[in-house]
């Protein structure tokens, strides 16, 4: 009798433990570690999105990433240079040390390619060797002074020309004689130079106009950098922003005071998370306007 009761007790404990474990596995999250693999293309800055939790991450320079997942979650892997891919999270994937994901290159098929002149084959490596192309000589390769200085845009050069120097410059005159009186007077003989060019540009509004032009150029460059990193389609699909509102969304982000410093850091993951948070604010503001 006691043995029979003991068996029942052991069976109940086993069933309870199994049900608890199953429920735990279904509800609890786990960290999935993975690696993007490709023979030819760059594997850094590949976007990994958990479509269920809306969490996302970006691969490092080696293609490695980690993200929180649950069973049956869907992950979307996307990048400009690859075809998008989706995977379903299973126990086998979670229990693996590192999940290796192979992506297919996004190749654009052309109807016809004509390679001319010089009897080129179309294979870049072979053609470069055959043509014996010499490296481009630049001021940097020659080691010339100031070769590492960033080239100014036309708007920046115009602004510098219109607003250079101080409004008033005080200069001491050189003594015309060498006698003692001239030496004494040289300490008090000064001239005041008024920068009428700068003052007129300020009063006419030309300086302000050029400053606005420089600001527009910088915003356009930042917008181009964002699209190069993530692509317009990825941003619209990930944040549920229509393509007609894309320009407005990017302008909204660029106009924030902390955006310039963030983009200069070059951290793709931080930029992505920033865009993600601002997309919520943008959509809320857009709804209020409607």
Residue range 42-71, pLDDT digits in tens? 788 888 999 998 888 888 888 889 999 999
d(C-alpha 253, C-alpha 281), whole Å: 10
Rounded to two decimals, what is the model's pTM? 0.47
Question: What contacts 154, CB < 8 A, 6 or more positions away?
Answer: none
pLDDT value, residue 247: 84
* Average confidence score pLDDT of the chain: 76
> What is the maximum span of the chain, computed from C-alpha positions, in angstroms?
131
pLDDT confidence bin for 285, thresholds 50/70/90: confident
pLDDT confidence bin for 117, thresholds 50/70/90: low
Higher pLDDT, 26 or 97: 97
Question: What contacts 88, CB < 8 A, 6 or more positions away?
Answer: 72, 73, 74
Q: Among residues of the chain, what percentage have pLDDT more than 90?
A: 9
Domain architecture of the chain: domains with CATH? 2-102 (2.60.40)
pLDDT at 75 over 90: yes
Residue range 169-179, pLDDT digits in tens? 877 665 555 55
pLDDT, mean of residues 138-162: 73
């Amino acid at each position: 009798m006691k043995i029979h009761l003991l068996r029942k007790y052991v069976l109940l404990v086993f069933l309870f433990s199994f049900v608890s474990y199953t429920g735990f596995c279904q509800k609890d999250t786990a960290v999935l570690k993975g690696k993007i693999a490709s023979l030819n293309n760059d594997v850094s800055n590949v976007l990994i999105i958990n479509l269920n939790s809306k969490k996302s991450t970006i691969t490092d320079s080696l293609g490695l990433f980690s993200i929180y997942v649950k069973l049956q979650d869907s992950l979307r892997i996307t990048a400009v240079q690859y075809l998008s891919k989706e995977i379903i999270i299973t126990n086998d994937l979670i229990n693996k040390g590192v999940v290796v994901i192979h992506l297919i290159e996004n190749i654009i098929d052309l109807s016809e390619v004509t390679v001319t002149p010089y009897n080129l084959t179309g294979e870049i490596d072979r053609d470069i060797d055959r043509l014996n192309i010499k490296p481009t000589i630049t001021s940097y390769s020659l080691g010339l002074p100031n070769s590492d200085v960033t080239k100014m845009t036309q708007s920046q050069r115009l602004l510098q020309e219109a607003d250079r120097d101080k409004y008033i410059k005080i200069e001491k005159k050189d003594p015309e004689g060498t006698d003692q009186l001239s030496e004494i007077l040289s300490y008090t003989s000064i001239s005041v130079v008024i920068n009428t060019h700068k003052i007129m540009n300020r009063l006419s509004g030309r300086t302000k106009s050029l400053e606005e032009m420089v600001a527009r150029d910088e915003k356009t460059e930042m917008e181009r950098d964002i699209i190069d990193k993530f692509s317009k389609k990825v941003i619209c699909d990930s944040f549920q922003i229509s393509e007609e509102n894309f320009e407005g969304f990017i302008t909204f982000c660029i106009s924030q005071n902390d955006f310039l410093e963030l983009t200069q850091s070059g951290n793709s993951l931080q930029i992505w998370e920033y865009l993600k948070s601002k997309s919520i604010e943008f959509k809320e503001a857009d709804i209020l306007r409607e």
